Amino acid sequence: MRGIARMIDAPPLDTHGMNPAKALHALGQSLWLDNITRTLVADGTLARYIDELAVTGLTSNPTIFEQAIKNGSAYDTAIREKAARGLDAETLFFELAIEDLSRAANLFRPVFDATNGVDGWVSLEVSPLLADEAAATVRAAVALFAQAGKPNLYIKIPGTPAGLGAIEDAIAAGVPVNVTLLFSDDQYVAAAEAWLRGIERRLALGLDPTICSVASVFVSRWDGAVKDQVPAALNNQLGLAMMRRCYRRYRELLASPRWQAVANAGAHPQRLLFASTSTKDASLPDTYYVDALAAPDTVNTIPEKTLLAYGERGRPGAVLAADGGDAEAVLGAITAAGVDIGALALKLQRDGAQSFVKSWQELIAVIAAKAREA
């Protein structure tokens, strides 16, 4: 993959004849699959997505694993075997997840190597029960990264106020981090600064600064939260406007002297990642958010259903403007309609953290139930 400055200033590419997913890849945006199952990896489906739809990475979360384990039998034998070894449900889960993600990481390893570690990643989340315990989160991140033994495994840590210290410390310890649960530009910048502090600490100690990271900002939940609070003309505009603002802050960071200092020492950028990009409003095209968020040197992680739809009928829109385009005008109109965007960002993050805990508890309960059946 080309260097950051060259990529974001590159002229438009000729994408004639490419399917929409490959066209996005050609302009410098990575498409990652937001899904993982044992079957998806084993039956060749993931390999086909890599080949046909330019998928260059993968993310996971407890809900994805809970659904895969509960609704199928692919994990039953492994659960029985691990339960017979006396593993508790949480330890058992992480063994299952690391097995799946290690196989996926192997499929993405050629991309990882070809891009010098910029792309080709998979992600594993720490227990959300540790969200308010920074030291415990860092210990878990270090242990999981070591257990997997894969250089292209991100450990997901929420970018909540309590998580920022854990992000910095994990990066300083050499653990690649996918910062999750970000909504606003302020939350994104706080996460980016935590990552930068971790890199700067490594440089001060004479350590390798190429500890990669992505910062995941969530899109569609914004629009669901204000659906009944704004005029019809502003429906489904808040999420995209906030992403345009985040992209402007991202580009500003990449132009800053602070970033240039660590880049000159060999650091890779922490890439902006658009998450929660499936369409929740049935009146919208199912590729709505992916179409609108084309941007060089960013990542878009999308559910399998959205990926397949995009490969068939995606319509990549104009590349996001470095200055945020009309983001401030749209956000101003939404504020004038009575929405406190700053307060809503905090609520979305708090609600998201609670949702993560609920999903985790459901996952552990499913595994424990299957283990008892052994």
- Nearest to 158, CA basis, from 133, 268, 325: 133
Euclidean distance between CA atoms 7 and 254, whole angstroms: 12
Q: What angle do CA 265, 269, 270 make, to 5 degrees?
A: 130
Which pair of structure tokens corresponds to residue 201?
Answer: 């600490």
Active site residue 370: no
Smallest Cα–Cα separation from 235: which of 217, 220, 246, 218? 220
- CB count within 10 Å of CB 129 equals 16
Considering 156, 347, 358, 370, which one is annotated as catalytic?
A: 156
Give catalytic residue positions. 156
